[in-house]
Amino acid sequence: LVLESPNPGVVLAADGCRFHTTTTFRQPCIITSTTDGGVIGNAINATWESLPLDVYSPQFDKIFCYYLSYSMKDEEEDGEEEDVLRLQPRTSSHEPNKFVERTLLLAFGYLRQSLGKETFHSRFCQHGLKSNERVALAIKLRADNDFYSQINHLKQRGLDLTPQNVESLEPFLPCPKDSTTGKVIVNKTGMGSSAALVTSIVGSLLRFFNAASLPIMMDGIDGDHGKQGEGEGLRIAHNLSQICHCYAQGKVGSGFDVSSAVYGSHVYTRFSKEIINKLLEDVELQNKTVQDGLSLTGSNLMQLYELVTDTDNKWDCTVQPIKLPQGLELLMADVCGGSESPSMARKILDWKKNNRDTGFLDGYYWRDLKRCNKKIASLLCDQYTKKTFCDGLIRDGPMIISSRTAEQWRKPMPSTWHEFDG
């Protein structure tokens, strides 16, 4: 439903369920040249600068090694347009990861355009780019345990499958491996991990390059909440993350999961696809003929910068903050198997299309679901914020509501619950 504007989507973001991206400079990862995967040289001319870029994913037991290269010459005003920024794998046996690579490409593209080539370059020069000591920009990705099934870890430790035991596990546990093939087994829990990954990388790079003011999150506490400019910083992070995520998944989605990764719990309505379609098409066209990596042209960078900063208010999505009232708790069941949102959405839309004879001729089911979603949003934004409701929930919740079935809730309640519709 959230794919169709202006239908609202209710986002309840789980506290303590985050991606953590650390960006720093360190020695480049050593790559051993082999017969099936030699080291690729970054053959860039004298007007280009190049830096090793290493992305560490310890939970997936992977390291992705690239060259980040960018032009230092002034872009020509006419003539054939040239690349100004490239991301290349450092080995021919490189294992691609679209969500990492496409996010890095666009994030660095935005940073170069936003900061200007001299300031962008100076950030690297401070750390040995021009010296004899070669350094790499190292990015480490880690996810809280709730993004992936922890059933195997609990069983290995002989622990019962309870929320308390899940909470007792050490943080950032690696995904298990198949005993036969040695491949990592990834069982997602459906918490929007790809969107959280993209948003975390974007936020980390914006902070590292001092390109946006963003809140510091420490142990679940917003360390410098309310600092001037953070609202603008979140808007930049949101817009850039939405573009990166759509480019990575190969289509314009609803933006629901990226918005939750940026803003937490809220009622959301999607942005119009037309806002970013042209940029994605141009970048896709630019990279159709590119071999061994990805690249952006000067016009790509200008388009990207204008979309991210959005002085014309083209982004028409809406965000209304909400929170669960005290006494209500959200529980998630780990079924040890994730799902792919785009394919699920396609199945639902196909079902809708093929069942017009059983109610969809007049859109009954769809309209009924819309009404239900709007009522939930209204309850969270309006009725659940009232003191009468919150006091009643605290008073009656533990003893009465929690021990009755949903059908029994319809019966007369002991206090003022009849005031609350639904």
3-state SS assignment for residue 418: helix
Question: How far apart, in whole angstroms, are the C-alpha atoms of residue 338 and residue 67?
Answer: 33
Model confidence pLDDT, tens digit, residues 293-341: 999 999 999 999 999 999 888 999 999 988 887 777 778 888 877 667 7
Instruction: Kindly calculate the radius of gyration of the chain based on its CA atoms and give it in whole angstroms.
Output: 24
Which of 87, 43, 38, 96 has the alpha carbon at shortest distance from 67? 87
DSSP annotation of 58 reads: G
DSSP string across 151-172: HHHHHHTT--S-HHHHHHSPSS
Question: How far apart, in whole angstroms, are the C-alpha atoms of residue 322 and residue 320?
Answer: 7
Please give the residue that has the higher pLDDT: either 213 or 42: 213
pLDDT of residue 224 exceeding 70: no
Asked which of 14-23, 65-74, 125-134, 388-397 is least confident by mean pLDDT, the reply is: 125-134
pTM over 0.75: yes
Average pLDDT, the chain: 85
